[in-house]
Amino acid sequence: MSEAGLPFLHNPSSVAIIGASDDPDKIGGRPIAFMRKYGFSGAILPVNPSRATIQGLPAYPDVASLPIVPEVAIIALPGEAAVAAVEACAALGVKGGVVMASGFGETGRPEDLARQHNLVAIAHAGGMRLVGPNSQGLANFGTGTILSFSTMFVEQEPLDGPIGIVSQSGAMCSVPYGLLRRRGLGVRYVHGTGNDADLGVGDLALAVLQDPDIRLLLLYLEDIRDPASLQAAAEQALDRNIPIVAMMGGRSVDGRRAASSHTGALANEQRVVDAFFKRVGIWRAKSMSGMVDTAALYLKDWHPRGRRLAIVSNSGAICVLGADAAADNGLQLTQFTPETSQALTEILPTFATKTNPVDITAALLTDSSLFGKVFPVLAADPGVDAALVGIPVSGKGYDFPRFAADTAEFAERDRKPVVVAIPQEPVARAFREKGLVVFDDEATALAALGQFLHHRELMEEVRRLGPLHNSVKGSPVVRSLSESAALEFLSDRGIPVAPSTLCATSTAAVAAFHSYGDIPVVVKGCPSAATHKSELGLVRLGLSTSDAVASAADDMLEIMSRLELANDGVIVAPMVRGVTEGMIGAHVDAVFGPIVLVGAGGKYVEALDDVQALIPPFDESAALAAIQRLHIAPLLSGVRGEPPTDVEAWARAAVALGELMLDNPAIQSVDVNPLMIGAAFGEPSFGALAVDAVVELA
């Protein structure tokens, strides 16, 4: 069923509460109290065989006794009673159910997982969709449909607004809700999906995005079982220019273990999750501050053009600290044009700083017009994309309402992002009342601004690359190509490969050596079922005589025969030098489909684990960005006289591998290591050559 077909969860005409309580602080009582308080206009139908009325409403002994068929039912009963309630609702024709009971798939016990599968099967047999089990519930403050028992709605008074929250954890939909409300921001949707046995985070996210008033969506995930629905939500959000910010637990080993014990979540490979989020335009926040601190920025009608920053303050220390925070968050201090510098010289006192950052000093105390004079100059500078205004000292004696008005006019004039850092609450309040985004300090302000600008760039990148077209394959029986066959396979499909000769005898190996002009060669055994050839004595490097080549070939043929390894013979290839040993690889992920890896190569590849993941299709620009995220990236431009690495050739090879994975459904995995970058048969030059490869086909 399409998520566009789920309006009954957000605006039902009637809601039954099975397991209803007269106590508004109980799980079965809170939804009733919330809906009555926050303006739900539909019918509320409490079901409890022990009471004639509940919270002033008529109560019914069972589902069959209800006067109408409710569109939605809240199941506030435990265990098998919850299963029976779902069965009764499905038989009656209820469209949707929110199952709050625990003790299902999240326990990890086979019998509980089987009961969860049975619960969903019962619902589907009657055309009913489920949220949960183990769900805190759903809330829509736009319609008053509060199908939730969250305590946070008691602690933090709701306010409808343009933000939606969808979370697999009840706590992690309540916590960001509470923090956003403390910041004065309104939140419309607060959804805790629980075990995602039927409708999951992606489904509910897509349903939330059908609301034309939503401008920001926050997600919390503990696993991704259905990337297609999450991808569909991301594409819908991109079409409407709505940012999605996600947190996902399990970045560490202990975090993954905790997530599994919490919701029965699968342990998605984290670098693949990162690649998926980047590829569909979702920003992955690493902390709660990354979720909520930037929210107010996303809601502004700004048109960011870049990351070049101007800083203005009445404190030299804030100028210095702001410059540091800008560097920490990938923001660049712009260099003012000569016209800007001249204009600032005419405006500011002689002892003030006219370069970026602009320190207008304590002169602000005696001349309240300084901010108002500086801002139009900065607005006219084409190199200023965004600004930080830092006012650590103000208050009594300062005309800070005027400072706030001048800053607001600056922010509105050109729709440039402006963040403000003010620690004094009365001063900060004056700026907030003008619609400005205010933080306590410059570090928090620029972390939020950096995320906002980087995320907007990511969304533009995804628009340029276009949608994903991946399909997840099953787990077929695979066969490994020999190294010679693998290299030929890749060469035929556009991936550059070093020259080599496959030889059946030592005599043929010597002839190959001579054909390369008697330059040093490598001799390798070529079995089809062994990938770590060095450990078997099947690799000899730098052989420069006929006798050495013949001896190596004979030894390897004997080793492969003795170990009963099916083989094609031995490979003779010129020794290839490179500026950098990199790698490219690919495999079919069970959840996300084809994945391409770029990373540091050579014999230490597994120990270093310096790898970035990409989801095809992607282009050379995206591949270059991934390479620049590697730990070895600072070495790639050349260090202490070394030549630079031809990263463009590396990126082109990665793009070719991504296209190959999409074009050939038989490929299960590819491992090219090393990929010699800046490779030549003498002095290093430009280009990239695969000198070893493993290919597995279905």
Q: With helix as H, strand as E and coil as C, how does 634-648 read?
A: HHCCCCCCCCCCCHH
Instruction: Kindly report the CATH number that applies to the domain delimited by 580-697.
Output: 3.30.470.20
Average pLDDT of the chain? Answer: 91
Confidence of residue 268 (pLDDT cuts 50, 70, 90): low
Checking if the pLDDT of 595 tops 90, the result is yes
| β-bridge partners, 17 | 46, 74
Task: Provide the pLDDT for residue 577.
Answer: 81
Task: Provide the pLDDT for residue 265.
Answer: 42
CA angle 503, 506, 512 (to 5 degrees): 55
Task: Provide the pLDDT for residue 263.
Answer: 42
Q: Which CATH superfamily is domain 1-135 in?
A: NAD(P)-binding Rossmann-like Domain (3.40.50.720)
Contact 145, 35 (CB under 8 A): yes
Q: Tens digits of per-residue pLDDT, 276-294?
A: 999 999 999 999 999 999 9
Residue 252 DSSP code: S
| β-bridge partners, 310 | 387
Task: Provide the pLDDT for residue 685.
Answer: 61
| β-bridge partners, 483 | none
Confidence of residue 681 (pLDDT cuts 50, 70, 90): low
- Give the predicted TM-score (pTM) of the model: 0.88
Every domain of the chain and the residues it spans:
1-135, 150-295, 300-465, 499-574, 580-697
Q: Tens digits of per-residue pLDDT, 331-386?
A: 999 999 999 999 999 998 888 888 999 998 888 888 888 888 999 999 999 999 99
Closest CA to 450 of 331, 277, 333: 331
Checking if the pLDDT of 683 tops 70, the result is no
Task: Provide the pLDDT for residue 698.
Answer: 85
Burial class (CB in 10 A: 0-12, 13-18, 19+), 648: middle
Stronger pLDDT, 285 or 473, i.e. the higher one: 285
Contact 192, 177 (CB under 8 A): no
Q: Tens digits of per-residue pLDDT, 116-135?
A: 999 999 999 999 999 999 99
Closest CA to 176 of 152, 146, 148, 203: 152
| β-bridge partners, 677 | 580, 688
Task: Provide the pLDDT for residue 413.
Answer: 85
Checking if the pLDDT of 107 tops 60, the result is yes
Instruction: Kindly report the CATH number that applies to the domain delimited by 150-295.
Output: 3.40.50.261
Give the helix/strand (H/E) hosting 319.
helix 316-328
What b/e string do you get for 602-631 counting C-beta neighbours within 10 Å, with b at 16 or more? Answer: eeebeeeebbbbbbbbbbeebbbbbbeebe
Rounded to whole angstroms, the Cα distance separating 314 from 358 reads 8
Burial class (CB in 10 A: 0-12, 13-18, 19+), 81: middle
Rounded to whole angstroms, the Cα distance separating 270 from 573 reads 37
Query: What DSSP string describes 257-270?
Result: HHHHHHH------H
User: Averaging pLDDT over each range in 5-9, 144-148, 391-395, which range is the top one?
Assistant: 144-148
Q: Which CATH superfamily is domain 499-574 in?
A: ATP-grasp fold, A domain (3.30.1490.20)
* Strands annotated E in 239-325: 244-248, 283-285, 308-313
Q: What's CA 179's distance to the chain center, in Å?
A: 21
- How far apart, in Å, do the first and last CA atoms of the chain sit? 33
Tokens of residue 136, six digits: 């805190």
Burial class (CB in 10 A: 0-12, 13-18, 19+), 247: buried
Checking if the pLDDT of 682 tops 60, the result is no
Tell me the average pLDDT across 544-562: 95
Query: pLDDT > 90: what percent of the chain?
Result: 78
Closest CA to 432 of 215, 245, 242, 182: 182
Checking if the pLDDT of 640 tops 80, the result is no
Task: Provide the pLDDT for residue 258.
Answer: 46
Q: Tens digits of per-residue pLDDT, 163-212?
A: 999 999 989 999 999 999 999 999 999 999 999 999 999 999 999 999 99
Tokens of residue 495, six digits: 């991936």
Checking if the pLDDT of 464 tops 70, the result is yes
Checking if the pLDDT of 472 tops 70, the result is no
Task: Provide the pLDDT for residue 53.
Answer: 97
Three-state SS at 31: helix
Residue 285: partners with Cβ closer than 8 Å, 6 or more residues away: 245, 246, 247, 291, 451
Task: Provide the pLDDT for residue 284.
Answer: 97
Query: pLDDT > 70: what percent of the chain?
Result: 94
Phi, psi of 291 (to 5 degrees): -80, -45
Checking if the pLDDT of 254 tops 60, the result is no
Would you say the CATH fold of 580-697 matches that of 300-465?
no
Instruction: Kindly report the CATH number that applies to the domain delimited by 300-465.
Output: 3.40.50.261
Confidence of residue 1 (pLDDT cuts 50, 70, 90): very low
Checking if the pLDDT of 476 tops 70, the result is no
CA angle 95, 75, 212 (to 5 degrees): 50
Checking if the pLDDT of 531 tops 70, the result is no
Tell me the average pLDDT across 228-254: 88
Task: Provide the pLDDT for residue 364.
Answer: 82
**53-54 and 96-99: which strand pairing?**
unpaired
Tell me the average pLDDT across 313-320: 94
Task: Provide the pLDDT for residue 256.
Answer: 47
Q: Tens digits of per-residue pLDDT, 555-565?
A: 999 999 999 88
Confidence of residue 404 (pLDDT cuts 50, 70, 90): very high
Give the helix/strand (H/E) hosting 400.
helix 400-414
